[in-house]
């Protein structure tokens, strides 16, 4: 399955039956060789959202214990595949 995430929008992905959801936000490109994703991590009412920087040439990335294929990266959106 392919997911298209625009800058500033949040994608919710199911982790499995009764395991909740992962949330990922695309933060754009910090420079021409780096893109930034931010996993939203929370426990009850507290949470945080670290920025994770990836090389533009990355084919596979790992966020919240899940692997995604990087299909396309632009300054406006990113397309990830399962």
Q: For the chain, what is the radius of gyration of the CA atoms?
A: 12
User: In this prediction, what percent of the chain has a pLDDT beyond 90?
Assistant: 57
Number of domains the chain contains? 1
Taking residues 16-40, what's their average pLDDT? 86
3-state secondary structure of 5: strand
What pLDDT does residue 34 have? 95
- Say if CB 54 and CB 66 are below 8 A apart: no
Asked whether residue 18 carries a pLDDT value surpassing 70, the answer given is no
Tell me how far CA of residue 49 lies from CA of 10, 13, 41, 59, 81, in angstroms: 12, 16, 6, 23, 22
Asked whether residue 74 carries a pLDDT value surpassing 90, the answer given is yes
Report residue 25 as tokens. 């936000």
Domain span at residue 76 reads: 2-81
Asked whether residue 20 carries a pLDDT value surpassing 90, the answer given is no
Band (pLDDT 50/70/90 cuts) for residue 82 is confident
């Amino acid at each position: 399955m392919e997911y298209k995430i625009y800058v500033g929008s949040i994608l919710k992905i199911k982790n499995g039956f009764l395991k909740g959801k992962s949330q990922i936000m695309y933060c754009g490109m910090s420079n021409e060789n780096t893109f930034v994703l931010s996993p939203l991590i929370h426990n009850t009412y507290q949470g945080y959202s670290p920025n994770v920087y990836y090389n533009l040439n990355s084919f596979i990335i790992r966020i919240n214990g899940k692997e995604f294929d990087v299909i396309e990266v632009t300054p406006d959106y990113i397309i990830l595949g399962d």
